[in-house]
Each structure stands twice: as structure tokens, then as C-alpha cells.
Amino acid sequence: MRSSRQPAALGALAAVVLVLATGTAPAAAVRTEDKVPVAVGTGGAVATVDAEATAAGLQVLRRGGNAVDAAVAAAATLGVTEPYSAGIGGGGFFVYFDAATGQVHTIDGRETAPLTMGPDAFVEDGAPIPFGEAVTSGLSAGVPGTPATWATALERWGTMNLRQALHPAIAVARRGFVVDQTFADQTAANADRFAAFTSTAELFLPGGAPPEVGSVFRNRDLADTYRLIAKDGVQALYTGELAQEIVDTVQSPPTVPGTTLTVRPGLMQLGDLAAYTAPLREPTHVSYRGLDVYGMAPPSSGGSTVGEALNILETVDVGALSRTQALHHYLEASALAFADRNRYVGDSDVVDVPLGELLSDDFAAERACLIGEAAAPKPVPAGSPDGEYAPCDPAPAGPGTDAGDGEGLSTTHLTTADRWGNVVAYTLTIESTGGNGIVVPDRGFLLNNELTDFNFTDGQGGADPNLPGPGKRPRSSMAPTIVLDDGRPVLAVGTPGGSTIITTVLQVLVNRLDLGMTLPEAIAAPRATQRNTASVQAEPTFPRTDLEALGHTFADNPEIGAATGIELTPDGFVAAAEPVRRGGGSAGVVDAG
């Protein structure tokens, strides 16, 4: 803080020097946006984890843009304000309801492995590489899919071009944003590995330390990178000058001389970037209590696992059960669906995923037979989605595993809707908090470590669907979801959280559709996640006593997910985000009711 005796001009000069040297500035230098977790109104809605991103989406809607335009603008802004969660160095899944056609479309923006990557890429001397070493490496970086996702979405369904959609994010990157506790904590948690790379330390550790809460963080390198993409299109990243810089960073990570970290080079080449596409895929679809639930197909396991669990739950009237039995059925259905997810789901362009059978009512009925009054021993074995389903028989013996993915708090989810009835649910990520820890020099963004979502070794006797492979997309748990009622969108939701994404989305849906909660209540309610493991991970306030009496065991998890959602009602929109988790989220509407 400037001394009261310091001349104003000198203080202003000091602030300029601070900005130029470190990228930070006094908080008074920028505007601040308040986080409001619930908003009700008309004209359109946006819900994200960040007030700046929500404001960017609303700005686009107010200027006549649609839900797709707003989603890209909000996502690009999250690349500035949530750089450890998302950005052009990562990927994601985009689910879109088109009001004009009544159709749900999805874009697969998942990262791909280099074409030279084989199934033993993460094995050395017959043993898997230590996971932490694999994360912080060039080896873990997949070909980014986020820029191609934005371009595809805008070209097909948007009303704005990429330059217009990136404008709010460029402004935030240049003027800066106020550092909150979450950003400061995430920087501090990554400080040791960030300090190992010259480019990362320069950007995120100004003066050798994390930015202080209340200071302003500016990322003019990213503003310039966004300007390049706005001018030249996303091919600047896939075939232009930026492509070469990404490859150089992956193959020769810019480590600080003398670092003690083991940082392996990666395999990515220019041809891998040039070959990247973000294809449209058919969404997953199940009917749940008269509603149509759409999600993301493989390589995501989100749509298939949420869908299978809903089909299992639909075999009983969850709303008529006691609260204990309702939660018991939710946990058991989750475990069963996860057993099948781990056994069968991978990149469907490479492996044969029996998606139709996994989402069939008959398979769900066979799996539901295994839910009794008490908890089954975990892990439960996978089922046989072979089209031949018997009445309730005892489960066959066999192991099950939790092959959880690494998209944790690094992932983020946003939801948008516009006055015409278009809706977007978009989950994007760079995987671990801070991705692989490596900033592309002078470009302002981190690379992902998505390839650590592959299983490093085959634990299924040659049947593992999620081993690395050339051009392959690692299995994801991201589960952006849109629910329709008689062809009309009524709900869109999603969350970060690694493999807990699936259970969080499922629990929010059960809370809202079965247990009578409002959308804000469904998001705020205490969570538990059962991913076919011996113990249920649960937040501290999740009710346990009666479930423990049924044989469930619990392990503490302080925070699960950070959901956002929008409900469409006859009167307008209810936009909802977290009131507390991850520092609280931000919801907004164009015209408040």
C-alpha cells in the first residue's frame, strides 16, 4: 500500500512498474464482479464458477448473441481467470440443444495422443512411471481440443465469429482480474512444480511467489495469443506459428537449470496438431420418468454411466422411498454403473464399446436385481451387456476396480441458455490443477496432462479399453447433461471433479427429479460418491448413520465437485451455481425477475 506521504505520481509509476515486472497490480486498477450463486429472470442465463466469465457470457447475450456465442465467450474468459482449470491448452465436451430443430448435438473436443504413442508409453523398465512424474511432463500432454471446439460450435450454431466471441476474454486478460483465495491457494499448491519451468514461474510466480489475494493478475501474453487466434483462426494453433511453439514446449520442456524434478519430454509432433479434429458425435440418450436425458458419448464415460445409473434407479420409485433408502439406491446404482464403465468404456473410435446395451432398460433391470436392502460388498463385478438378460440371479464372482480419471478441480463447467430456447452444457479441462505445469513460453497458457487419464498398464487381461494408443482419446468422466420434457429443454447441468463428475451429476439429477429439491438446493446439498470402491467418499455434512447401518462405509472428502446448472421454466430461467464449494460460483440472467 502506498504511504500517505508518497506523491501520487510516484505511486502511479510504482504501480506501472509492478504490472510490467510481475503481471500484478493494485485491485483498484480493475473492476470487480460479485459472485451471486442463484439468479432468476428472463432473456437468457449463464452459470459458471467465476463472476468474470458469467459477466462475459451475459454481455454476449445482451448484444444479441445466442447460447453458443455466450458459452465460447465464457469459456475463453475462464481461460484467463481459471487458468489452472481450463484454457486453449486443454479440451472438453460441448452439448447443445438447438431450439430451431429440437435436436441435441455434441462436440468431442477431447485431446488426442500423439500418433507415435503406444500402449506402454507410461511404462519404464517394466513398471509404470510414478503418477506425479507422468503428470508434470511433456509426455502427458495431449493435442488440445478446446480451440477446435470453439471454432466448430461457432461455425455450426453461433451468430458471432471467433474474433467477436473472444473480445470479452481479451479485455479481461489485458485489464486483469482480482485474485481470490481459490486462485491464490491453487497457485501456492503448485508453486514447487511451477518454479521448475522458466515460462510458468515468470507468469504465475511473479517475484518468485504466488500473487496475493486482492491483487490484480494480468495475462497480456494470453491476450496476444487470443488476438492471434481471433485474426488467423484456430489453425494458428494447429498448423501456424503457435503449433511449432507447442511442439517445442512438449518435446523440450523449459525447465529451470538445476531443477530436481524429473521432467520427461513428450512425443507430440506438428503432424499430430495438424491432424486434430473435434468431431460431432451422437449424444447418449435415456428416458427417465418421462424425461429425455442427453449426455456425452465415448470417449466420455459420463453419458453412459449417468445414463445406466438412471436406468437402474428407474426400476424403483426413488421418490417414494425413505431418504435413507433413496440414498442407498443412489450409491448402489453408482457402484454398478461404475463397474461396467471401467470394464467396457474407452475411445469408441478405437475399441468396441457396447453403448447401446449399456444404456438398455433390460441390462439395467438385470443390474438392478443386485440392489438389496443392504450394501453389497465392493467392488462389485461388471455385468455382461450382451443382449441376453436373465431374471434376478446372484452376481457372478469377479473383481471390480475404480479406474478414476484425473480431471479434478482443474476441470470447470459452464451452462448457458438464450431467449430463443437454445441451451449449452459445456465441460472443459486441462486435467490436474495446473495441467502439466508447463506454460508455452510467452503465450500465457498451460498445457494439459490429459494423457494420464489413460490406464498405464492393463489390469484386465488384455481387455482394458483405456490403454494409450496412437491418436487415441483417453477415457473421460466429464458429463455435461441436458434434460428435455416433451422436446423442450428443462434442465442443463454439469460439474468438475474427476470421476466424481459422474456421481455429482447423477446426484443433482436425483435430488431435483426424485427428491423434490429446487435446482439451487440440488446443487448445494451435501454429496457422496460411490465409484465401486470399498468406501463411499462423502462430504462432512452428508448423512451417514443410517446408511452405515445398511453396511456402507465412509471416508471423508472435504469437497466434491463444483456444479452449475440452468433450469428453464414457463416464466424464464433459474441459473444456479455453488454457494460455497470452490469459493462459490456465479449465476446471472439477462433480465432479473
Domain boundaries, the chain: 50-81+108-279+418-453, 287-406+477-592
Q: How confident is the model at residue 116 (pLDDT cuts 50, 70, 90)?
A: very high
Mean pLDDT of 75-97: 97
In this prediction, what percent of the chain has a pLDDT beyond 70?
A: 92
* pLDDT of the residue at 12: 33
**Residue 347 neighbours by CB under 8 Å, 6+ apart:** 298, 299, 465, 466, 469, 472, 473, 474, 475
Spot the catalytic one: 249, 305, 411, 415. Answer: 411
pLDDT of 154 higher than 70: yes
Whether the CB-CB separation of 283 and 105 falls below 8 Å is answered with: yes
Contacts of 117 (CB under 8 A, 6+ apart): 267, 451, 468, 469, 470, 472
CA dihedral 265, 267, 271, 274 (to 10 degrees): -70
**2: which residues sit within 8 A by CB, 6+ positions away?**
11, 14
The answer to whether 447 touches 89, Cβ cutoff 8 Å, is yes
Across the strands, what pairs with 286?
293
The residue behind cell 437468457 is: 44
Rg (CA), the chain: 23
| Predicted pLDDT of residue 2 | 27
pLDDT of amino acid 386: 94
Residue 515 and residue 339 in contact, taking contact as beta carbons nearer than 8 Å: no
pLDDT at position 13 is: 30
Q: Which CATH number does the domain 287-406+477-592 belong to among 3.40.50.300, 1.10.150.120, 3.30.200.20, 1.10.246.130?
A: 1.10.246.130
The cell numbers describing 79, all together, are 481461460
Q: Would you state the pLDDT for residue 23?
A: 53
- Beta partners for residue 98, in sequence order: 103
Per-residue pLDDT tens over the stretch 352-381: 999 999 999 999 999 999 999 999 999 999
Residue 382 Cα distances to 306, 379, 402, angstroms: 16, 9, 11
Q: Indicate the average pLDDT of the chain.
A: 92
Confidence tier at 32 by pLDDT (50, 70, 90): low
Determine phi and psi for 485, rounding to 5 degrees: -125, 110
Backbone angles phi, psi at 392, to 5 degrees: -60, 115
CA distance 186 to 180: 10
Task: Find the range with the poorest average confidence among 246-255, 388-397, 465-474, 568-577.
Answer: 388-397
Q: What angle do CA 133, 137, 143 make, to 5 degrees?
A: 135
Between CA 73 and CA 68 the distance in angstroms is: 9
Instruction: Give the three cell numbers for residue 83.
Output: 487458468
How far apart, in whole angstroms, are the C-alpha atoms of residue 518 and residue 566?
Answer: 11
pLDDT band at residue 24 using 50, 70 and 90 as cut-offs: low
Q: Are the beta carbons of 134 and 193 closer than 8 angstroms?
A: no
C-alpha grid cell, residue 207: 517475484
Mean pLDDT calculated for residue range 203-220:
96
pLDDT given for residue 5 in this prediction: 28
Predicted confidence (pLDDT) at residue 319 exceeds the cutoff of 70: yes
d(CA 238, CA 145) in angstroms, rounded, equals 10
* 16, 555 contact by CB (below 8 A): no
Name the residue among 399, 401, 304, 400 with its Cα closest to residue 353. Answer: 304
Q: Helix/strand/coil (H, E, C) string of 166-188?
A: HHHHHHHHHHCEECCHHHHHHHH
Q: Which residue has the higher pLDDT, 124 or 32?
A: 124
411 is catalytic: yes
- Categorize the per-residue pLDDT at 390 as very low, low, confident or very high, splitting at 50, 70 and 90: confident
Mean pLDDT of 57-86: 98
* 3-state SS, residue 425: strand
Q: Is 412 helix (H, G, I), strand (E, B) or coil?
A: strand
Residues 522-542: tens digit of each pLDDT: 999 999 999 999 999 999 999
β-partners of residue 123 are 128
pLDDT at 7: 31
Per-residue pLDDT reduced to its tens digit, 465-519? 999 999 999 999 999 999 999 999 999 999 999 999 999 999 999 999 999 999 9
Q: What average pLDDT does the segment 381-387 reach?
A: 96
- CA 254 to CA 257: how far, in whole Å? 9
pLDDT above 50 (res 438): yes
Give the per-residue pLDDT at 255.
Answer: 98
pLDDT tens digits, residue range 125-151? 999 999 999 999 999 999 999 999 999
- In eight-state DSSP terms, residue 450 is G
Average pLDDT for 112-118: 98
Most confidently modeled range among 5-14, 25-34, 442-451 = 442-451
Confidence tier at 28 by pLDDT (50, 70, 90): very low
The pLDDT-based confidence of 31 (bands split at 50, 70, 90) is: low
